[in-house]
Amino acid sequence: MKKIKFIRWMLVALILTYLSLLVPAQAQVVRPEIMGCEQGCPVVAAGFPMPFLVDGVISPVGSVSINPLVVLFVHLDEFVPSSFAVSYLFWLALTLIAVKLYRIQHP
């Protein structure tokens, strides 16, 4: 029973991580093939607390698509798995803390 509840909270954290794509951000990206970006240049990104979706080379400049089908299958933007893991763990910890505080207040 506890395993099912934990999986439910993991899904809630995954949804919150996806919704964090609505938070605009900037990221430094090194692109040696683009003149002026050999050392890194700021690009549009999305995700909180770590931007995990970065404006790709083939996407329209200055835009990040948060449509899940585009993110998963079309690959217009760059997905950063390590930043996604940090963001997911952040939202999972926040979810579990909120559940724990709720259970303390409402036994």
pLDDT digits (tens, 9 = 90+) for 36-50: 777 888 888 889 999
Q: Tell me the pTM.
A: 0.83
**Closest alpha carbon to 17 in 84, 98, 96:** 84
Domain that holds residue 98: 15-105
Could you report the per-residue pLDDT of 77-105, keeping only the tens digit for each? 888 899 999 999 999 999 999 999 999 99
Question: 26 forms bridges with which residues in the sheet?
Answer: 44
37 in a domain, yes or no? yes
Q: Which helix (H) or strand (E) holds 16?
A: helix 2-19
Q: How many domains does the chain have?
A: 1
Q: Is residue 9 part of a domain?
A: no
Residue 1 is assigned to a structural domain of this protein? no
Distances in Å between the Cα of 65 and the Cα atoms of 14, 34, 41, 68, 98 are 18, 22, 20, 8, 30
CA-CA distance, 81 to 106, in Å (whole number)?
37
